[in-house]
Amino acid sequence: MDQRNIILIGPMGSGKSTIGNIIARRLNREFQDSDHYIEERTGVDIARIFDIEGEQGFRDRESNALKELLSQNNRVIATGGGSVLREENQKLLKQQGYIVFLDTSVKQQLQRLRRDRKRPLLQTENPRERLEALFEQRHPIYLDLADLQVKTDKRVARRLAADIIKQLPDSLK
C-alpha cells in the first residue's frame, strides 16, 4: 500500500478541514489539521498568535507544524491557506504527500466566510479585496503543487469527498 500522506491545500473557506475529515474516516487514516495542531501546541488561537507574534511568527509556527505533521505517513492533513507560501514548505509538501487542491472561487469564499471572526487576514474593511489579492498571489502556487485539482463550488462536502476519493490513485485507497 502507498503510505504517502494525502495533503489538502487551498484558500480559506475551501473546506479543507471538513473534507479532509471525511476522507480520513472513509480511508481509515488519521486526520490532522495544521491550524488546530498549532492551537493545541500553543494553547491560544490563531488570531492571538497573529496579535502577539505577527504573521511572521505564525508562519514560523506553521512551518514547524508542517514538519512535525509530515514526519509521519499515512495521514490526511489539512493545511492552512497560506502554508504554500514558503519555498521550504512547498518542497516538504511535495516530498511528503499526494496533494489535493480544493479550488474555490472568491465568491464562494465570501459566502462561507461572511461572518468569520477567527481569521486575522479577513478582519479588514474590505474582505473581498483581500481575498482577491490572496487569490492572485496564491492560485498559481496551488496549481503548481497540485497532484489533483478539484473545483469545490456549489458542492456538498460528502459528495465532494467521495469524488476526490474516486480520483485518488488506487494505491492510496
Q: Do the beta carbons of residue 83 and residue 89 sit within 8 Å?
A: yes
Going 152 to 156 to 157 to 160, the CA torsion angle's sign is negative
SS3 content of the chain, % helix, strand, coil (to 5): 55, 15, 30
DSSP 54-72: HHHHHHHHHHHHHHHHTTS
CB of 119 to ligand S3P, least distance (A): 4
| Largest separation between any pair of C-alpha atoms in the chain | 49
CB of 94 to ligand S3P, least distance (A): 19
Give the three cell numbers for residue 5: 500522506
Which residue, 18 or 74, has its beta carbon nearer to ligand S3P? 18
Site string for ligand S3P, 68-107 (x = CB under 6 A): ------------xxx-------------------------
Residue 119 touching ligand S3P (CB under 6 A) = yes
CB of 132 to ligand S3P, least distance (A): 13
> Which residues, 6+ apart, have CB-to-CB distance to 32 below 8 Å?
69, 75, 76, 77, 78
Instruction: Please state, in angstroms and rounded to a whole number, the distance separating the CA atoms of residues 50 and 85.
Output: 16
Residue 15 touching ligand S3P (CB under 6 A) = no
Residue 127 touching ligand S3P (CB under 6 A) = no
Give the three cell numbers for residue 87: 519555498
Which residue, 28 or 56, has its beta carbon nearer to ligand S3P? 56
Site string for ligand S3P, 25-54 (x = CB under 6 A): ----------x----------x--------
CB of 108 to ligand S3P, least distance (A): 13
Contact residues for ligand S3P, defined by CB under 6 A: 12, 16, 35, 46, 80-82, 119-121
